[in-house]
A = this chain, B = another copy of it.
Amino acid sequence: MHPSAPYQLYYWPGIQGRGEFVRLALEEAGVPYVDVARKRGERGMPAMLASLDGARETHPSFAPPVLRAGELLIGQTANILLFLGARHGLAPRAQQGRLWANQLQLTIADIVDEVHDCHHPLSTNLYYEQQRPAARTRAADFTAQRLPKYLDYFEGVLERNRARGNHAVGARLSYVDLSLFQLVAGLRYAFPNAMARQQAGWPRLLALHGSVAQRPRIAAYLQSARRLPFNEEGIFRHYPELDR
């Protein structure tokens, strides 16, 4: 517990989900944070829900993750990373680099949305089991068409970056690299067959995944209890029938 931690993260307690992109940035920054819904037991969930529509909040969020930083309450994953990146040296200082990092992060958000819709193509209010035939159609399209289109794009981004180090933006690690690590990890969990068939086409992306995993703070995080396992309640879900 860090009662005086500078950051409180509000996110669902049992999944990596979109909150994981924020956790990875906080871990790499090495800054204390409270994962509110997980650490406060029964009081955690009400606190998380209050960040969404609490009567005291002037800036309520539509959905988690939400980050509290002193007086600031910040929602939307890419927006939280924009803030953390600038504050903790996880993004370029110049405007051009900042915008480029944000653009890439928003494109990662887009593929993450599409991964979610593979198991929930018809409604977020129905269980996966209630929309399985549609999920099969959507996932087949995703793994054959959309997944390679997105990963070809990110591979090209790494290829066009002339700076040393195989980073997405410039010559230093940014939150975009951390998010690409998470994207590759999630896709390998959810779609191991589709990834095994195609991943030889993305050598830079796989190398980036490997190098991020070996960063000291990230490696320590991944081995800690703070890193939740992937599971079938998160965004990256492994259903064999969706990964033919």
Contacts and interface: CB of A to CB of B under 8 A. Distances in A.
A107 B141 contact: no
Contacts of A102: 76, 79, 82
Of the four ranges (under 10, 10 to 19, 20 to 34, 35 or more), the interface on chain A belongs to 35 or more
B60 A160 contact: yes
Contacts of A60: 153, 156-157, 160
A134 B106 contact: no
Contact of A76 (B107, B153, B160): B107
Interface centre among A58, A96, A123, A161 (most CB of B within 10 A): A123
B62 A78 contact: no
Contacts of A126: 141
Contacts of A100: 59
A110 interface: yes
Contact of A82 (B57, B99, B113, B123): B99
Interface in A121-168: 121-126, 134, 137-138, 141, 145-146, 150, 153, 156-157, 160-162
Nearest to A125: B145
